[in-house]
Amino acid sequence: MALFPAFAGAGEPGETPASGSEGSRRELDWLSNPSFCTEDALKLHQRAADLTPERSQLIRSPSRSELSGRSNTSEDLKQSTKKRKGKKKKHHHHKKRKKKTREESSNSESGSDSECMKDKPRGSDTNHEREAATLNLEDITSNGVTSRFVWLEDIQALTAETFRTDKNPDPANWEYKSLYRGDIARYKRKGDSCLGIDLKKQRITWESSMVEKKQSHKQPERYFTKNSVQLLSTDGISVYSKSQTSSSGPSTFIPVSQLDSDAPPTTTSVNPLGIYDPLTTLWLQGKGPSEHETLKQQASQETSENVNSILKAKVEEYNRMVRENPRDVHTWMEFVSFQDEIMRGPSPYAIKEGEQEIRRKSFKLILEKKLAILERAIESNPNEVDLKLAKLKLCTEFWEPSSLIKEWQKLVFLHPNNPVLWQKYLLFCQSQFSTFSVSKVHGLYGKCLSTLAAVQDGSMVSHPVLPGTEEAMLAIFLQQCHFLRQAGHSEKAVSLFQALIDFTFFKPDSVKDLPTRGQVEFFEPFWDSGEPRFGEKGAKGWKSWMHQQEKGGWIIINKPDEDEEDVAEDQEIKDKTLPKWQIWLDIECSREKRHWLPWRPDKTKKQTEEDCEDPERQVLFDDLGPSLIRLSSPDLQFQLLYSFLQFVGVPCGHSLFPSNLYIAMDENNIFDTGQSERPLTSFDSLLSGVNSIGHMDTMTRGRQHIGHCKEGEEFIQNVFHLMLPLFSRKENANLSVCWLQYEISKVVQCLQAKNKKKLKSQGKKSKKLAKNLLKASENRNNLSLWKLYAYLEWLLGNTEDARKVFDTSLCLAGTEGMRNIQLCNLSLLYASLEVELLESFEETVMSRALHILTKLAESGPYVPYTGQVLSVNILKARKAYEHALQDYLTESPVSNWDQASSSSQLVNLVGCYVLFQYLTVGIDAAVLICRHISEKLKGFASQKFESIGENLGIHNFPTALEAVTLMHTNLLRYHMKVSIYPLNPLREALTEALKLYPSNQSLWRSYIQIQSKSHNASKARRFFDRVTRSTKSLEPWLFAIQAEMMRKKLVENVQRVDVGEIYSTIPETGLTNRIKALFEHAIQSENGAHCPLLWRMYLNFLFSLGNKERSKGLFYKALQNCPWAKVLYMDAIEYFPDQLQETLDLMTEKELRVRVPVEELELLLED
């Protein structure tokens, strides 16, 4: 047997194969080879074992014995080399092919003693076989890889510098700009010093041509990346102590074993140190886990299966419920909402591995499933509007705006009698930027109101009248007026109010039985007749005009008023050196303030319609007729009147309907603290963030919120003069109170602005109005007017005169005492004003306030203050207050509390008793009464009041609980001002109240004011988070943002004055990002998406950070949701003045009111 069986039959080249005997005889011929040496063989074996694939490619000099031993093959080597040169073909191999070839070649030559030198690949499979036979190599690779090596020991003429010259030209060197990269030696430098300086450190590393692929080093992903968010959203497995395990059923927790540190670890042969856990020890022993461990693993698997089985069971339950009762709309909606819960966790229906993660994050899949469920629900309930609205809400993610509008039109056509559907349709069309224009949306409002009016009249026989239609029609009308005001068309908004008030309160008796459209046809001649309209001088109303027309008409020659001479308008451009955008804003705001009334031709001056410089100031009847509706309820008629007064800036304690409050909210005066230094008697104007007519301006410019130009003030006076004679004594008194409150609010504004000159003139006007109102016979005993007159004198600084007025009014009240609501209210205000004058808490026993409250409890004739109150009288008064309050809570039926008078009586009585206890006993006794009353009211009264307010949408009075809480917090604020008292009771009272009334702006103002003094904001942030999750009101979002912005401003203002360096005494980071996050969450809410005030605040905040590009992007995003808000465009002109022309063009395209076109501005600048 041959030592090398693979070469046993190999002979010399050219020889014929030998027979079997000859082959066996020649098997051991290699032993007789004189060049064979056992020592060389051992050395050869040792070197082959030590060689590595990398070093086998390096060039080494062979030993002399090896050269001599293989010299006999040199001739054959030369011949074979010449043959290969003749047949050589250049070709390039793929990198992977080269790698494979080199590895196999190095393996085939691993037994060789000498190192090899690399050469270019050449030859083919057949050449390789011929070379192997010619050279008689020791090893042949089985896969037939081409040999690429030349052995130095096979070359006879070996010199010191052995090299081979290749005379064949390479055309690629001419074609390309550089040599082939494979022909260039590559090395890596190690060290940073020059070559040859330090031989120990400097060397050259020759790299093989086989370059390994560099591993891509990915940077660690941050927490906000997609994969990290998916990882964070996965449900973790809770860990708990072994002592807390529950024995009931399988648990999803991993038990944490508690090892006793004193007990020595158990050691075995496979675990000599006792450091392995039992499972590892079993694995080392070659054993499997015990049955107990197997059961544990099965239990964990069963737990995850149980979760899936629970979800499957719920799905099956919902399917069964909707199958058995397909008319149950509530179950269908719950089933739709349940899809979110399914998608939060892994899908119980996942088939492939990894499908759970895909389904978990597939938002589109959730929408499609919900849509499929809703379509099934609509098939079973084709007349349910809620299901169709939910479907349209989902389809906003899929469909184009044009397709959505068509679907909305179909839905409105099928349900023309549904006012809620109309409101949502109008808001949708109003907030679609691509299809929005003012005239289009204004026409939709008219179509909506005319359709609902036809349903109300019974003209549309196919659809019945739904309950609450009349209230909803008034809400839609008010929404239309505020839409026109926000779009800049204030003349149309005022004309709408004028027409509807005339249409409602001055309707002739002859047309009252006609349907609404018939009444409108009779109203049109009056409107176009040129007669003075509601609010204009000389107006008498539609009824008087029609009565005179039936008699033959009248001819009135109005003599021009000598006092009313044409007053030259102020120069609109006061400083031409200002930037163009600033001049435009000044003129635009000035005209908004002066020209909000519709223009009418003055017949005494022989004016015609052609004399109007701005045709937009004229309002045609075609713009008003479709929106006129019939209001039969007296409450809704008064709501219309009070809404108009609030619209023109008269504070009358009435807010908008909840459905359109946030759409109309565009002014940041909800954060104004007012008279914060007077917490007991602060005057709350109740503007609620809705801007009044004529006060449109940018976010950053200072301006007044109350009061108008001369024409506007005359208009408001004419309104009151025209409306007061229409009503009975009670309503007349309420309107008189509203008028005087309007004058007082202007005085308060002058006090806040510290404008003494204007305060003096305004005080005279207000006092004159109060005296004129009190001179009227029906108002002489009106304690509410006396109270406001005395309060006005007190604000003007005339304390003694105010006391005389108060004393006079108390003497007029008689001996009714606490049974009189107005007397309680008057005494409470008088006593509160006196308490605020006290310099210290020790003076309360000597104060006038205690005298006033004691006389109220005695129910006798009032006697002015003479000195200290007797202790006996104090004890009697306390008992009287206790009995009166107890009798009221026990005997007064709950049904009577539905009325505003009953609620006001309770609140005033509690206020007097609380203030009396505060003056005689202390703050703790007063707080105890507030808590006791609040507990009583929480059970029944608050729910009753809330339901009334939500159903009617009329907030005539705050609920009793809300008013008592506000009184409680104001008293605590005052006591903290004059004395040392902890902040926690006030904070707790406010948090409890805000949980019940999250939309009360007064409570929120107090809350953020006290939280601004706190060093730690974590409690307030947690509270804001809880409230925003539990309510749909927007006020928690707005005040949470305001609180963070106040904190940011405080942190930025804390500086060292002497050095000018930032000295952060409040360690706060991330406030900017927190405020941004609050804004983003707020605009994603249902009410916040279409609130212009929220977008204005966000835009102002981003611009204040200096990020102009991002602010510009946010501006266009705001237009996508509120394209009708002109104040957004005005803010953008102030923030991005270089885009003035572009913004004005956009306003013109959307038909928003632009009072100063660019062409007119350029002409004014030239003049």
pLDDT of residue 114: 40
pLDDT of residue 578: 87
pLDDT > 50? residue 955: no
Percent of the chain, pLDDT > 90?
Answer: 23
Given a contact cutoff of 8 angstroms between Cβ atoms, the answer to whether 770 and 742 are in contact is: no
pLDDT of residue 531: 87
Q: Which residues contact 915 (CB under 8 A, 6 or more apart)?
A: 828, 831, 832, 835, 849, 853, 926, 971
Percent of the chain, pLDDT > 70?
Answer: 69
pLDDT of residue 82: 44
pLDDT > 70? residue 733: yes
pLDDT of residue 674: 62
Higher-confidence position of 1164 and 153: 1164
pLDDT of residue 199: 59
Least confident of 511-515, 547-551, 917-921, 949-953: 949-953
Per-residue pLDDT tens for 864-891?
888 778 889 889 999 999 998 888 877 6
pLDDT > 90? residue 1023: yes
Per-residue pLDDT tens for 764-781?
999 999 999 998 888 888
> Which pLDDT band, with edges at 50, 70 and 90, does 630 fall under?
very high
pLDDT of residue 702: 62
> Which pLDDT band, with edges at 50, 70 and 90, does 935 fall under?
confident
Query: In terms of DSSP bridges, do strands 239-241 and 254-256 run parallel, antiparallel, or are they unpaired?
Result: parallel
Geometric angle at alpha carbon 794, from 791 and 798, rounded to 5°: 140
pLDDT > 90? residue 437: yes
Q: What is the mean pLDDT of residues 216-239?
A: 68
pLDDT of residue 1048: 87
Higher-confidence position of 1146 and 66: 1146
Given a contact cutoff of 8 angstroms between Cβ atoms, the answer to whether 881 and 857 are in contact is: yes
> Which pLDDT band, with edges at 50, 70 and 90, does 641 fall under?
very high
Q: What is the mean pLDDT of residues 920-932?
A: 91
State the sign of the Cα–Cα–Cα–Cα dihedral 393, 394, 395, 398: positive
CA-CA distance, 1125 to 1115, in Å (whole number)?
Answer: 12
Q: What is the mean pLDDT of residues 805-810?
A: 90
pLDDT of residue 241: 52
CA-CA distance, 906 to 883, in Å (whole number)?
Answer: 13
Q: Which residues contact 107 (CB under 8 A, 6 or more apart)?
A: 53, 141
Q: What is the CA radius of gyration of the chain?
A: 47
> Which pLDDT band, with edges at 50, 70 and 90, does 917 fall under?
very high
Give me the residues paired with residue 1062 across strands.
1055
CA-CA distance, 619 to 614, in Å (whole number)?
Answer: 11
Q: What is the mean pLDDT of residues 434-439?
A: 92
Six-digit token pair at 738? Answer: 């509203």
Given a contact cutoff of 8 angstroms between Cβ atoms, the answer to whether 243 and 228 are in contact is: no
Higher-confidence position of 358 and 139: 358
CA-CA distance, 161 to 175, in Å (whole number)?
Answer: 32
pLDDT of residue 138: 42
Per-residue pLDDT tens for 125-180?
444 444 444 444 344 334 444 445 566 666 655 555 666 677 888 888 878 877 88
> Which pLDDT band, with edges at 50, 70 and 90, does 926 fall under?
very high
Least confident of 367-381, 593-607, 783-797, 1075-1089: 593-607
Per-residue pLDDT tens for 248-265?
444 555 555 554 445 566
pLDDT > 60? residue 479: yes
> Which pLDDT band, with edges at 50, 70 and 90, does 1 fall under?
very low
> Which pLDDT band, with edges at 50, 70 and 90, does 753 fall under?
confident
CA-CA distance, 436 to 428, in Å (whole number)?
Answer: 10
pLDDT > 90? residue 755: no
3-state SS string for 492-518:
HHHHHHHHHHHHHHCCCHHHCCCCHHH
Least confident of 88-92, 772-776, 780-784: 88-92
Q: Which residues contact 303 (CB under 8 A, 6 or more apart)?
A: 250, 251, 252
Alpha carbon separation from 825 to 267, 669, 681, 817 (Å, rounded): 88, 27, 12, 11
Nearest to 719 by CA among 567, 591, 532: 532
pLDDT of residue 900: 55
Terminal C-alpha separation, the chain: 122
pLDDT of residue 209: 42
Query: Residue 668: phi, psi to the nearest 5?
Result: -90, 25
pLDDT > 80? residue 26: no
pLDDT > 50? residue 68: no
pLDDT of residue 265: 65
Q: What is the mean pLDDT of residues 83-100?
A: 43
Helical H runs in 865-959? 871-891, 900-920, 923-939, 941-952
pLDDT > 90? residue 848: no
Six-digit token pair at 236? Answer: 């973790």
Distance of CA 695 to the CA centre of its chain: 27
Tokens 């197997």 found at: 294
pLDDT of residue 247: 44
Output the average pLDDT for the chain.
Answer: 76
pLDDT of residue 473: 94
> Which pLDDT band, with edges at 50, 70 and 90, does 93 fall under?
very low
